[in-house]
Structure 1
Amino acid sequence: MKEQIKTYFARYVEFSNEEIDGIYSELKAKVFQKKELLLKENTICKYYYFILKGVVRLYYVDQKGNEKITQFAIDNWWVTHMESFIREAPSTQYLQALEETTVLYLSKETLEKLYLKYPKLERLFRIITENMLIASLRKSDIFLQMRSKERYTSFARTFPDFMQRVPQYMIASYLEITPEYLSELRRNSK
């Protein structure tokens, strides 16, 4: 686990072995079973999760009772409900494991303490947050500018791992298309 986090950190910021050891000692590990919730709506998101292995979705339930998926996260991704985590406010969404998922996690308090002790970590999380913002903006652009078929093609090309590991009806929810139309698109793309 420590090597995986070290390799991940090195993609963005170089840390010494001593720094990695110090940061790693503050991370806690947990395994979530398939369909287990990491976060429930109306509770405060207390943790930032690094997915060692697994898949997580972030979603809300609309007024009609339909689940609307806003984000997926997979191995070597960080995930949280950012607004709830930062502002310590009740979450408007759920975080759920889609398969058995092993994570490392830390609290906001621990993260702030680590920022002071290891300033490079704050730079790392700034880069991660910038990348998350860019991904969110890109998704907005794609949804505004592309038709359903183009959204599907772009998603399949950009995230092939998700196509294999996430149920199709959930991908349809994320892409804001019906599961039937997604099946038709998949058939026609083969």
Structure 2
Amino acid sequence: MKSQLTNYLNRYADFSTEEIELIFNSLSTKTFQKKEFLLQQDQICKHRYFIIEGLVRYFRTDSDGNERISLFGIENWWITNLDSFINEIPSQNAIQTLETTTVLSISKDDLEFLYRKVPKLERAFRIITEKTLIAIQRKDEVYMKQHSKERYYSLVDTIPDFAQRVPQYMIASYLDITPEYLSEIRKNR
């Protein structure tokens, strides 16, 4: 776990062994079983999670009871509800595992402490957050220009094993298409 996190963080800044030790010792390891929640909708998000192994979905349930998936998190990704985490307000979304998932988690207070002790960590998280926002914007821009079929092909071509790990109805929700139409797309590929 430590080497996985070290390799990940060193993509954004050059951390010393001592800094990595301090960071790693501020994290908690937790394993969630399939379908467990890291965060419930309307709960205040208390942690940022680094996915060591597993898969999660980030979604909300609308007033009609429909689930709207806005993203998935896989190995070597950080996931949280940033608005809830930073502003300490109830989350409009939930984070739930789709497979047994092991994460490293950090609280807001511990993260703020680390930002003061290891300033380059704050820079790393800024870059990570920027890249995440850019990815979300690109997804929205690309998906607005593409037909449903192209969105599906783009997803499975970019992350080939992803489609094998996620139930088709969840992929349909993420792509904002019906499960029936997704089934048709898959048949004709």
Single out whichever of 71-80 and 57-66 deviates more from structure 2.
57-66
Deviation at 1:10? 1.5
> Partner residue of 1:117?
117
Aligned AA for 1:91? S
- Please state if 1:60 is matched with 2:60: yes
Alpha-carbon distance in structure 2 between the residues aligned to 1:161 and 1:82: 27
- Please state if 1:87 is matched with 2:87: yes
| Deviations, residues 133-183 of structure 1 (Å, cap 9, x unaligned) | 011101110221111111111111222232121111101100001111111
Alpha-carbon distance in structure 1 between the residues aligned to 2:150 and 2:12: 31
Q: TM-score, normalised on structure 2?
A: 0.97
Q: TM-score, normalised on structure 1?
A: 0.97
> Partner residue of 1:51?
51
Single out whichever of 10-19 and 108-117 deviates more from structure 2.
10-19
Aligned AA for 1:84? S
Alignment of 1:22-171 (within 5 A): 22-171=22-171
Single out whichever of 150-159 and 127-136 deviates more from structure 2.
150-159
Aligned AA for 2:165? R
Aligned AA for 2:157? R
Alpha-carbon distance in structure 2 between the residues aligned to 1:51 and 1:98: 12
3-state secondary structure, aligned to 2:188: helix
> Partner residue of 2:7?
7
Percent identity over the alignment is 58
Aligned AA for 2:28? K
Aligned AA for 2:42? N
Aligned AA for 2:118? Y
> Partner residue of 1:176?
176
Aligned AA for 2:102? T
Alpha-carbon distance in structure 2 between the residues aligned to 1:19 and 1:176: 42
Alpha-carbon distance in structure 2 between the residues aligned to 1:94 and 1:137: 20
Alpha-carbon distance in structure 2 between the residues aligned to 1:44 and 1:176: 27
Alpha-carbon distance in structure 1 between the residues aligned to 2:84 and 2:161: 28
Alignment root-mean-square deviation, CA: 0.9
Alpha-carbon distance in structure 2 between the residues aligned to 1:51 and 1:88: 22
Alpha-carbon distance in structure 1 between the residues aligned to 2:32 and 2:159: 23
Alpha-carbon distance in structure 1 between the residues aligned to 2:94 and 2:106: 18
**Matched residue count:** 189
* Structure 1 residue ranges without an equivalent (≥5): none
Deviation at 1:42? 0.9
